[in-house]
């Protein structure tokens, strides 16, 4: 079957482990490259670049990103990857390090090309069955839900599972932004020039600077990669154990970009709003969704306040509680530009 286009929407898996690491406090970071390659081989992607600090390792993948902390792994993959196939080998390698899985969170948006997804990702139902069968029985608190929006094709799929004995860290929050129909002029910046003889790292760095991505979180260490002929991925490391990540599929017709970052509920929320604004302005999409996983209401209330002044209108809001994750809030927005195109209002020029 001919592939209709690149699937930008990522699948995201976050696994937490517990146990005493007898060797050092490195935990999962001791999984060697050969074992990591076996995990990624099962998923159908490879490492293209990496960076690390004393707290964690961040890998740019051929299809998105991988973050490894001593007791936490976040793996996010797009295209037609089989992300859930990483769970069994990761549990195995963690077990060899004396670590046991205690929570799992799987999230994704609605695929642009759902029919192109291979098993076990052919539907959310199939994904949930696979998760139910693969996860160990100590993760007994489980919930799967599709959070709907008023926009067709913009729903949020969430599955979580947790161990009743192990509490989750209530202070951290995660923001996952999914943007479609990117501004065409801005999207062009993620295409390589036909005559450029740069390697992928240098091409990525050029895109980071040209688009202002380096300004979203000032001071972050950025590991970036420019795909050929187009496409971009970056991981940012900042404030010790924090990460941010951006992935871009700029092709017209199925353009997509994602921005994700973690924060603490004790952070300066004005700074958080600024970060979100800057990330959205890099792409000026026609449609975007923001999913917030947090124990605090303060975080999601800031989302609409940050995004609406950029010329967006909030179209839907959904909230749900999940074991081992906290509250997930899913908000969707469309640009007033798009609203106007559909006869709904006044045209607003981007500044
Ligand atoms: C891996 S990147 C970013 C992924 C991210 N989830 C997204 O779509 O925003 C995907 C972009 O890079 C392009 N690309 C070029 N070569 C690629 C390769 N070898 N593997 C994956 N994507 C590649 C794709 O066409 C697409 O535009």
Read off the pTM.
Answer: 0.95
Distance CA 311, CA 253 (A): 22
Does 143 fall in a domain?
yes
Distance 227 CA to ligand 1 centre (A): 7
Grade residue 167 by pLDDT with cuts at 50, 70 and 90.
confident
Domain coverage including residue 123 = 11-335
Q: What is the pLDDT of residue 198?
A: 96
Which ipTM score applies to this complex? 0.95
**pLDDT for the residue numbered 3:** 74
The domain spanning residue 188 has which CATH number? 3.60.90.10
Task: Find the mean pLDDT for residues 126-140.
Answer: 97
Ligand 1: residue whose CA is nearest its atom 18:
62
Tell me if 6 is assigned to some domain.
no
Active site annotation includes 247: yes
Among 64, 258, 291, 335, the one annotated catalytic: 64
Average pLDDT (23-49) is 94
* Domain assignment present for 349: no
Is position 6 annotated in a ligand binding site? yes
Told to judge if 64 belongs to the known catalytic residues of this protein, a careful annotator would answer yes
Q: Answer yes or no: is pLDDT of 350 > 50.
A: no
Q: Residue 277: which of 200, 187, 347, 177 has the closest Cα?
A: 177
Instruction: Please report whether residue 5 resides in a domain.
Output: no
**Does 185 fall in a domain?**
yes
Place 53 in a pLDDT band, splitting at 50, 70 and 90.
Answer: very high
* Residue of 62, 86, 233, 255 marked active site: 233
What percent of the chain has pLDDT above 70? 95
Tell me, in angstroms, the distance from the centre of ligand 1 to residue 245's CA: 14
What is the rounded (10 degree) CA torsion for 109, 115, 116, 122? 70
Q: State which ligand 1 atom lies nearest to the alpha carbon of 257.
A: 9
Catalytic residue among 16, 154, 247, 339: 247
Q: Report how far apart, in Å, the C-alpha atoms of 33 and of each of 57, 255, 324 are.
A: 12, 32, 29
Q: Whose CA is nearest to atom 4 of ligand 1?
A: 247
Number of structural domains found in the chain = 1
Q: Mean pLDDT, the chain, as a whole number?
A: 93
Residue 22 confidence (pLDDT) above 60: no
- State the pLDDT at residue 346: 39
User: Is 272 among the domain residues?
Assistant: yes
- Tell me if 291 sits within 8 A of 283, measured CB to CB: no
- Mutation choice for ligand 1 from 43, 227, 246, CB with most ligand atoms inside 8 A: 227
Instruction: Enter the DSSP assignment of 230.
Output: B
Q: Counting atoms of ligand 1 from 1, which one is nearest the CA of 249?
A: 27
351 part of a folded domain: no
Q: Is 227 annotated as a binding residue?
A: yes
Mean pLDDT for 230-257 is 97
- Answer yes or no: is pLDDT of 126 > 50: yes
Sign of the dihedral through C-alpha 152, 2, 246, 311: negative
Ligand 1 mutation pick, 9, 77, 190, 231, max ligand atoms within 8 A of CB:
231
On whether residue 341 sits in a domain, the answer given is no
């Amino acid at each position: 079957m001919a592939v209709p286009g690149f699937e930008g929407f990522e699948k995201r898996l976050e696994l937490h482990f517990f146990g005493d690491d007898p060797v050092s406090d490195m935990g999962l970071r001791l999984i060697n490259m050969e074992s990591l390659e076996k995990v990624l081989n099962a998923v159908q992607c490879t490492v293209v670049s990496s960076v690390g600090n004393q707290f964690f390792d961040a890998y740019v993948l051929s299809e998105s990103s991988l973050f490894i902390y001593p007791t936490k792994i976040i793996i996010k993959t797009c295209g037609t990857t089989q992300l859930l196939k990483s769970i069994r080998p990761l549990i195995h390698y963690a077990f060899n390090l004396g670590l046991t899985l205690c929570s799992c969170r799987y999230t994704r948006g609605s695929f642009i090309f759902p029919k192109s997804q291979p098993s076990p990702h052919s539907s959310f139902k199939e994904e949930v069955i696979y998760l139910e069968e693969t996860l160990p029985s100590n993760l007994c608190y489980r919930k799967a839900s599709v959070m709907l929006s008023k926009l067709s094709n913009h729903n949020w799929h969430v599955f979580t599972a947790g161990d009743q004995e192990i509490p989750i860290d209530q202070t951290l929050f995660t923001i996952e932004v999914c943007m479609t129909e990117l501004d065409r002029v801005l999207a062009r910046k993620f295409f390589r020039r036909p005559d450029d003889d740069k390697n992928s790292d240098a091409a990525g760095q050029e895109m980071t600077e040209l688009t202002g991505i380096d300004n979203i979180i000032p001071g972050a260490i950025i590991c970036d990669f420019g795909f050929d002929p187009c496409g971009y991925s970056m991981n940012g490391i900042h404030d010790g154990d924090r990460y941010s990540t951006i992935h871009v599929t700029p092709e017209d017709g199925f353009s997509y970009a994602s921005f994700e970052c973690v924060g603490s509920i004790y952070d300066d929320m004005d700074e958080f709003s600024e970060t979100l604004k800057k990330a959205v302005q890099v792409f000026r999409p026609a449609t975007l969704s923001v999913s917030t996983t947090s124990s605090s209401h303060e975080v999601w209330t800031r989302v609409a306040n940050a995004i609406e002044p950029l010329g967006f209108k909030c179209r839907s809001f959904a909230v749900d509680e999940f074991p081992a994750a906290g509250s997930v809030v899913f908000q969707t927005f469309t640009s007033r530009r798009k609203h106007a195109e559909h006869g709904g209002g006044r045209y607003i020029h981007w500044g």
